[in-house]
A and B are shown apart, each in its own frame.
Chain A
Amino acid sequence: MDPTRQWLDQTLLEIGIASYVVAALALLAYSLFRLRVLRTVGMPLAILGCAAQFGELGARWWMTGVWPLTNLYGSLSLFSAFAVLVFLIFAFKYDLALIGGPVLAIAAIALGYATTWNEGYMPAVPALQSYWIKIHVPIVIGAYASFMVAFCVSLIYLLKSAVESHYRNRSLRGVAAAPGGERIDVRLAAYSSAQPAGMLRADTPAIDDAAAHGDGFAVWIAGLPSLARLDVMQYRIIAIGLPLLSLGIITGAMWANEAWGHYWQWDPKETAALLSWIVYAAFMHLHTRPGWRGTRTAWVSVLGFASIVFCYLGVNIWISGLHSYKM
């Protein structure tokens, strides 16, 4: 192996990991302290890390002539690069830099974990020597990455929703304990005062109320995107992931038909992908119902990502099957 190329590969990998770690810390700190300088540091580093990772995958391909996604190292590496890419698109288009901390942190962990599977440069086994690997794998990894970003948005949604419930319950307890014994529906009062005529209501009135009274934590959480906005964002990101996952399953079926003689073999990986598809299809159906949109669909998104982790890593590592390419 040419030492210069090997050096390039290693250097780009190190730049990628270092950039992600620092960007994750900066963006986590940004979400905590809302200092613009932290965002100014974190976002370019995220871009640098993402570029370095794509560069590193390209360098491996250039060095070996072997498509770099034939093992878990390559696919996890692409996963974190795609996740950061999806985050960057949404961060710039919808001003969602506040979710960058968890996304970059998971990307850094994934990339760090990937290096433990990096055994060096290996040619592909016969089953992977197909043009389909250049189509199927990036599509599926793109879907996984989108779902990871959606998962982070859902977590923030659930956090904000839980905090809203907490403040609402605290306000209600305060009213119940009032000496006059009057019962006031705090939620309705807050809605009616916060709701501009004709437009959508403020969806965290208890947090806004506590923030207006100087509660520091409430001030912080009120600065996160509104629940409605987070819900729309998780929907939009899953709307990227679900068609990609569908296309990934379809291209996988076409490849399986060419390699194994049947487009569907009930292999654990196929069925785990189907399982994830069902969960996200359920998300989409539930999202059409106003009563389910929000906290419940956010939980479905969390469940969906758990199924993705199971499909991606659990099946590859712990369950033997046609997709057990652990190296």
Chain B
Amino acid sequence: MATRSDLALTPRAASALRESWDDLVRLFANVGFGVSLLAVWATLTLIGVIIDQGKDAATYAAAYGPPGARLIERLDLGNIYHSAAYVGVLGLILCSMTAATFTRVIPRRIPRLGPVKIDAIPLHASVRVAGTPEEVRARVAEFFAARGWQIRKREFGGEEWTFADKNNWARRGVLVAHVGFVIIAAGTTLYWAKGYSGQFAVLSGQTATIPQTGATIALQRFSYRIDPIQTKAGVVYQPIDYVSDARVTGKDGVARDAVIRVNHPYDVDGTLVYQSTYGFAIDLRLTKDGRPVPGAPDQPLKEGEGFPIDGTSRSVQYTRFVGTIDRTTGGAGSDPRPNDPGVVLTAYDGDHSIGSVLVPLGRPLDLGAGYVLTPARYILYSGFQYGYDPGIPIVGLGAFVLLAGLCISLYFLPARLFVTVRAVEGGTEVGLAATTVKGYDVFEDRFRDIVDALRRTAPQPAAEGA
């Protein structure tokens, strides 16, 4: 059995391990590395925007050709936001933020007070004033305090330094923003762990069940409003409203009336149900030699659904509902409302489309070999989405913290003035230098104003330098 001493590393190995760890932390804390990760994140996101996500291989082959489709499939680019690469980059960014926060942000943005070489700081100046160093020190402290600067005095090597800070608290802005990002990541993870979502469509008069909770939604009536609007380009049929009247039964077994419309979700036991879409299901009747054919659809089909014709290699898909057939052209009219409805049916032989046809509702379509297909009637259906996300409050909190961090770090400039006072021939000299967390350029004008004001208020100005 191995003892603790057997498992202990030799000092050399421990030192090598520590060095490697320190190198790794330095790498992750490096701003360049962090920005490189952001660039990779941006690139992957851009790929996700350009390549339609969640499509099948045939769609990609049609859009990008077979080699492109193979590349998309192999690199998982069609599901990029849930790919290992995407999640991995986000993980690396979180690691980089953590390393940067502890090794750079905290030590550099919240530095300890200490003496500096004033002349080595680009924003520096010296002002000669009358009075003893003690008097001048007191006056300088008063000068800055009166202008809202936080004054602290320290002695280093027998020399007294005055430190004047403005917005010192705002040095934590970046830290706050990073914490917000981490909170958002935690909230998102909570959804992955405990949340769920889905979608379903219900025909008028039918009932659907949310599988995760067992809640049922019986669609009593679906209604919509589409208005013809006269525009400069002609009449446009604009959807104005669509709404589902349903009876929803939750865990308590009590059925309640619910009106579900866009932007107004219905809450059933913590799961929100959203009105998302609607459509026209079609009752298709297939006969052969005048008799019903086995295998023909016994439920109305929704757009995109189809059925095989028994005993053949062919199938029929209900492709699209046409509200109004233009009787002059025989094609689809622009009015989507079902004034003179029809359906576009597409026939397939295996996977290959062999043609589409627009069939008015109620008119039989001869498929050949004795088969006749009749789109008998339409039934409105309502499409719902549902979701439960326990991470939302946490994501919301994270977003607020991130935004607060951004505002703190962008709108409040933490600046520190290093002030030293010493006796020189013929008076006292005040040396001062300024640093900020955003470089020197951003503070140049204000520093000049401070120096000018100091010169003006000094009792016996003998300014030179600067």
CA distance A266 to B240 in the complex (A): 26
The digit string for B380-394, where 1 denotes a CB below 8 A from any CB of A, is: 000001110100100
Which stretch in B67-75, B203-211, B258-266 binds the other chain?
B258-266
- Shortest distance from the beta carbon of B391 to any chain A beta carbon, whole Å: 9
Q: Of A200, A242, A261, which one neighbours B385 at CB under 8 angstroms?
A: A261
Asked if A250 is an interface residue, CB under 8 A from chain B, the answer is yes
Q: Which residue of B lies closest to A125 (CB)?
A: B239
User: Is there contact, CB below 8 Å, between A285 and B444?
Assistant: no
Which stretch in A40-48, A81-89, A204-212, A287-295 binds the other chain?
A287-295
Residues of the B chain whose Cβ atoms lie less than 8 Å from the Cβ of A201: 122
Which stretch in B12-20, B133-141, B320-328, B399-407 binds the other chain?
B399-407
CA distance A293 to B442 in the complex (A): 12
Residues of the B chain whose Cβ atoms lie less than 8 Å from the Cβ of A243: 403, 406-407, 410
The digit string for A297-327, where 1 denotes a CB below 8 A from any CB of B, is: 0000000000100100001000100000001
Asked if A258 is an interface residue, CB under 8 A from chain B, the answer is yes
Q: Which of A126-167 contact B (CB under 8 A)?
A: 126-127, 129-130, 132
Residues of the A chain whose Cβ atoms lie less than 8 Å from the Cβ of B276: 260-261
Q: Which of A248-275 contact B (CB under 8 A)?
A: 250, 253-254, 257-263, 266, 268, 271-272, 274-275
User: Is there contact, CB below 8 Å, between A319 and B49?
Assistant: yes
Give residues in B with beta carbon < 8 Å to A: 31-32, 34-35, 38-39, 41-42, 45-46, 48-50, 53, 81, 119, 122-126, 197, 227, 229-233, 236, 238-242, 261-263, 265, 272, 274, 276, 385-387, 389, 392, 395-396, 399, 402-403, 406-407, 410-411, 437-442, 444, 448, 465-466
- Shortest distance from the beta carbon of A211 to any chain B beta carbon, whole Å: 21
User: Is there contact, CB below 8 Å, between B392 and A123?
Assistant: no
User: Is there contact, CB below 8 Å, between A261 and B411?
Assistant: no
Q: Which residue of B lies closest to A294 (CB)?
A: B441
Residues of the B chain whose Cβ atoms lie less than 8 Å from the Cβ of A310: 49
User: Is there contact, CB below 8 Å, between B439 and A293?
Assistant: yes
Give 24 A-B contacts (CB < 8 Å), ordered by A residue.
A119-B232, A120-B230, A121-B229, A122-B236, A123-B238, A126-B261, A126-B263, A127-B262, A127-B263, A129-B263, A200-B122, A201-B122, A239-B411, A250-B403, A258-B263, A259-B262, A261-B272, A266-B53, A271-B48, A284-B410, A285-B38, A286-B31, A287-B438, A327-B236
Q: Which of A205-261 contact B (CB under 8 A)?
A: 228-229, 231-232, 235, 239, 242-243, 246-247, 250, 253-254, 257-261
Residues of the B chain whose Cβ atoms lie less than 8 Å from the Cβ of A271: 45, 48-49, 81
- Given A200-B122, A229-B441, are A286 and B262 neighbors across the interface (CB < 8 Å)? no
Residues of the A chain whose Cβ atoms lie less than 8 Å from the Cβ of B227: 123
Number of CB contacts from chain A to chain B under 8 A: 155
Asked if A278 is an interface residue, CB under 8 A from chain B, the answer is yes
CA distance A290 to B439 in the complex (A): 7
Q: Of B32, B241, B392, B444, which one neighbours A257 at CB under 8 angstroms?
A: B392
Asked if A99 is an interface residue, CB under 8 A from chain B, the answer is no
Q: Of B42, B197, B444, which one neighbours A261 at CB under 8 angstroms?
A: B197
User: Is there contact, CB below 8 Å, between B236 and A259?
Assistant: no
User: Is there contact, CB below 8 Å, between B410 and A261?
Assistant: no
User: Is there contact, CB below 8 Å, between A126 and B241?
Assistant: yes
Residues of the A chain whose Cβ atoms lie less than 8 Å from the Cβ of B35: 282, 285-286
Q: Which residue of A lies closest to B384 (CB)?
A: A261
CA distance A278 to B41 in the complex (A): 8
CA distance A284 to B45 in the complex (A): 19
User: Is there contact, CB below 8 Å, between A125 and B38?
Assistant: no
User: Is there contact, CB below 8 Å, between A126 and B242?
Assistant: yes
User: Is there contact, CB below 8 Å, between A282 and B392?
Assistant: no
B contact patch SS:
mixed
CA distance A243 to B176 in the complex (A): 14
Q: Which residue of A lies closest to B100 (CB)?
A: A285
CA distance A118 to B231 in the complex (A): 9
- Shortest distance from the beta carbon of B221 to any chain A beta carbon, whole Å: 17
CA distance A134 to B444 in the complex (A): 39
Residues of the B chain whose Cβ atoms lie less than 8 Å from the Cβ of A122: 229, 231, 236, 238
Asked if A199 is an interface residue, CB under 8 A from chain B, the answer is yes
Q: Which residue of A lies closest to B444 (CB)?
A: A200
Residues of the A chain whose Cβ atoms lie less than 8 Å from the Cβ of B448: 199
Closest CB pairs A-B (n = 6): A119-B231, A126-B262, A261-B385, A228-B441, A239-B410, A261-B274
Residues of the A chain whose Cβ atoms lie less than 8 Å from the Cβ of B441: 200, 228-229, 231-232, 293
Q: Which residue of A lies closest to B195 (CB)?
A: A262
CA distance A262 to B272 in the complex (A): 10
Residues of the B chain whose Cβ atoms lie less than 8 Å from the Cβ of A37: none
- Given A253-B399, A262-B387, are A272 and B263 neighbors across the interface (CB < 8 Å)? no
- Which of A198, A229, A246, A286 counts the most B-chain CB atoms under 10 A from its CB? A198
Residues of the B chain whose Cβ atoms lie less than 8 Å from the Cβ of A315: 49
User: Is there contact, CB below 8 Å, between B238 and A197?
Assistant: no
Residues of the B chain whose Cβ atoms lie less than 8 Å from the Cβ of A132: 263
Residues of the A chain whose Cβ atoms lie less than 8 Å from the Cβ of B274: 259-261
Residues of the B chain whose Cβ atoms lie less than 8 Å from the Cβ of A246: 399, 402-403, 406
Asked if A279 is an interface residue, CB under 8 A from chain B, the answer is yes
- Which of B230, B233, B263, B272 counts the most A-chain CB atoms under 10 A from its CB? B263
Q: Which residue of B lies closest to A247 (CB)?
A: B403
Q: Which residue of A lies closest to B40 (CB)?
A: A278
User: Is there contact, CB below 8 Å, between A275 and B46?
Assistant: yes
CA distance A118 to B227 in the complex (A): 19
CA distance A323 to B276 in the complex (A): 14
- Shortest distance from the beta carbon of B194 to any chain A beta carbon, whole Å: 14
Q: Which residue of B lies closest to A266 (CB)?
A: B81
CA distance A235 to B276 in the complex (A): 41
Besides A199-B122, A278-B41, 9 new A-B residue pairs in contact (Cβ under 8 A), listed by A number? A120-B232, A125-B239, A198-B465, A231-B441, A235-B438, A261-B385, A266-B48, A271-B45, A319-B50
